[in-house]
Amino acid sequence: MKKNYIGIREARINLSRLIRDVRSGMEIIITDRGNPVAKLIPVNSSSLSVEERIRNYESCGLIESRPKTETPDALPFELPQEFYKRSIREERQDD
């Protein structure tokens, strides 16, 4: 894997280009006054689950957040027993 050293200031200015380079397999070392402080490396997408990749894309703004499709298992309040009995009677009368 090819390594490239770049200063913080230049990295900030050229981040889009750096990301393209990383996607192509380059490893980039970011330096602060000549001292290495960070490393940009390609993510092995096969090591991330689908859910992790989707969360990453959402957090980066590449895709919109998915709508919540969860439905509650129960009503947020208790219905009286008489309600159920009356509903069943009405349903049977309609048949």
Alpha helices in 1-95 (DSSP H): 8-13, 15-23, 50-60, 81-94
> What is the model's pLDDT at position 52?
75
Distance from C-alpha of 31 to C-alpha of 7, rounded to nearest angstrom: 5
> What is the model's pLDDT at position 60?
63
pLDDT along the chain (95 residues), means of 10: 83 92 86 93 73 72 67 63 78 74
> What is the model's pLDDT at position 36?
94
Third-level CATH fold of 3-60: YefM-like fold (3.40.1620)
**In the chain, domain spans:** 3-60
> What is the model's pLDDT at position 64?
77
Judge if pTM exceeds 0.85: no
> What is the model's pLDDT at position 87?
79
